Amino acid sequence: MRVGADGVLLAVNDAALSLLGAETLTQVLETAITDRLVPDHHELWRDFITRVFSDGSASLDCDMVDRAGVVRSVRLQGNAITDHPDGIRSMILGARDLSATRRLELALQDQETTGKASEQLRAEVADARAARDSATAAAEESQRAAEALRGELERSLAEQGRMSDGIVQRDHDRRQIESALKRRDEESKFLQAAIERYESEHQRLEAEVDRAIGDGRRLQLEIEQAQGLVAQAQREVGQAHDEIALARAEREKAVSEREQVRAELEYLRAELEQSRAEHEEFTAMVKNKDVSRQKMLAEHATARMQAERALADASARHERLAKQIEILAREIAPSERSE
């Protein structure tokens, strides 16, 4: 578990969910771990928190109550975290369930008590055997006095029978006790093996916690490197924005120049149309004059020469305008293709 300095659960793995008696993370995250401690151990928890953040690590044996109300004896091992990316003062908390170990200890105590009882029963069996030997000696003595003390013999035989029944019963009890002792020995071996398995699992979990701490530090380093790359990318994006703004300004300037050229082209086209109209009007005039040319040839020879010169001038002007339009069209065409 990852626990804040205020006791709030920040991260929980599946094993911790099982220990807390929860099924989903939402049931335990952002809740206080002190809610799961028995009230008598709250003061121990505050002292534990102080030792963790002052010494870097500490341990605590306490009792926890899961969501179902089951009380478990646990051993908490805390390691302080001082450089977590989210900046929250917290620690890695490992919890080891000692309930099974406590049950094993109680079972061993019961076994010791049973051993003492077995020793007492063995002593009673020895006393019974001694009593049986004494009874056998008494029976032999009574047999030697059988003829003189028949009545006493009968009573002694009756007593011997009762004692024999007691001895048989004691032998039966002794066999049961020996069988129980054998079972206790087997259970003790099984419990010892279970304790060794628990110790091995605890060592494995401690190794995993160490690896998790190492992975967390490596992740912190990778995050810092990634933040540096992000800052560099942001600077490059800012430069790209500046270049895009400059390109847009240049494009707007080119568009403005193109519009100006188009206006000049329209003006030249209008002049060309006017020249063509004048040429057509002059041609019509020439045709009209051709009708009366025969009559007015001599009179209008000079006028004809002037008209021809004017026509030549108009043609030359028309050719110049056409060339200018063609040049302007070639200048406009590359800028339109580049856009």
Q: Which residue has the higher pLDDT, 131 or 66?
A: 66
Question: Which of 163-167, 236-240, 252-256 shows the lowest mean pLDDT across its residues?
Answer: 163-167
CA–CA gap between residue 129 and residue 163 (Å, rounded): 10
Average pLDDT over residues 117-125: 65
Q: How many angstroms separate the Cα of 232 from the Cα of each of 146, 224, 266?
A: 121, 13, 51
Query: Coil, helix or strand for 180?
Result: helix
Question: pLDDT band for position 48 (50/70/90)?
Answer: very high
DSSP state letters, 73-106: EEEEEEEEES--TT---EEEEEEEE-HHHHHHHH
What's the pLDDT score for residue 53?
A: 92
Per the structure block, which two tokens stand in for 298? Answer: 């001599």
Task: Give phi and psi for 13, each to the nearest 5.
Answer: -95, 180
What's the pLDDT score for residue 68?
A: 84
Average pLDDT over residues 228-242: 74
- Closest to 79 measured CA to CA, from 199, 206, 221: 206
What's the pLDDT score for residue 79?
A: 94
pLDDT digits (tens, 9 = 90+) for 277-319: 877 877 777 677 767 666 766 666 676 787 778 778 877 887 8
CA–CA gap between residue 183 and residue 10 (Å, rounded): 47
pLDDT digits (tens, 9 = 90+) for 124-158: 656 767 766 776 676 577 567 656 666 665 775 66
pLDDT digits (tens, 9 = 90+) for 237-246: 677 677 777 7
